[in-house]
């Protein structure tokens, strides 16, 4: 089994950070990669995941094995073969699966409507229109509402206008 690295283009990396996909397809994957090979996924000069090649026609379809999207590992790797020692060093730093806990995630916005059904339709229209670039999403551990954090584009974002005024 060969070891590889692939580099995600910036736009594709931005999408991967926003949505939970099991598989990522890389169009310009390394020639010679075969089904079953393991791959270090690199974005912005950081190792962000470990994956396995599932399909090779029309690009590489990579199944995520481990992700480090929120704590990537700095690496100056280009796309191509990776020696065993380098591969193992990064794979070990990615660690194993972490324990999961329950999180509450919410999008809330005031909507004026004549009835609940219309309000729901307007809500989904606004979500599609604004999307993750403009619409903050709030997340907190279940049972700890005081730990609520706002996220925009998959990254923590300050939503307190008073704190923004203090920074000026």
List CB contacts of 38: < 8 A, sequence separation 6 or more.
1, 3, 4, 50, 51, 52, 53, 65, 87, 91
Task: Write the CA distances from 80 to 14, 74, 83, integer angstroms.
Answer: 22, 17, 10
Give the pLDDT score at 28: 79
Give the separation between CA 41 and CA 51, rounded to whole angstroms.
7
Give the separation between CA 72 and CA 78, rounded to whole angstroms.
16
Backbone angles phi, psi at 92, to 5 degrees: -65, -40
Mean pLDDT of 30-43: 92
Spatial CA neighbour of 24 closest among 9, 2, 3, 45: 9
Give the separation between CA 29 and CA 80, rounded to whole angstroms.
8
Tens-digit pLDDT profile for residues 52-111: 999 988 789 999 999 999 899 999 888 889 999 999 999 999 987 778 889 899 988 889
Q: Binning pLDDT at 50, 70 and 90, where does residue 27 land?
A: confident
Mean pLDDT of 3-31: 90
Mean pLDDT of 38-62: 93
Tens-digit pLDDT profile for residues 133-154: 888 889 999 889 898 898 888 7
Q: pTM surpassing 0.85? A: no
In the block, which residue shows the tokens 């990522």? 24
């Amino acid at each position: 089994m060969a070891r590889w690295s692939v580099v995600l283009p910036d736009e594709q990396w931005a999408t991967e950070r926003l949505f939970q996909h099991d598989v990522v397809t890389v169009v310009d994957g390394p020639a010679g990669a075969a089904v079953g090979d393991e791959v270090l996924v690199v974005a912005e000069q950081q190792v962000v995941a470990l994956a396995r090649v599932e399909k090779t026609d029309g690009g590489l379809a990579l199944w995520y094995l481990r992700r480090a999207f929120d704590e990537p590992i700095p690496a100056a790797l280009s796309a191509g073969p990776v020696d065993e020692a380098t591969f193992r060093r990064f794979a070990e730093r990615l660690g194993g699966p972490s324990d999961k806990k329950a999180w509450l995630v919410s999008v809330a916005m005031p909507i004026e409507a004549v009835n609940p059904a219309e309000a729901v339709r307007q809500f989904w229209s606004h979500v599609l229109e604004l999307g993750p670039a403009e619409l903050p999403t709030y997340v907190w551990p279940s049972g700890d509402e005081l730990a609520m954090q706002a996220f925009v584009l998959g990254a923590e974002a300050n939503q307190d206008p008073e704190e923004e005024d203090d920074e000026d």
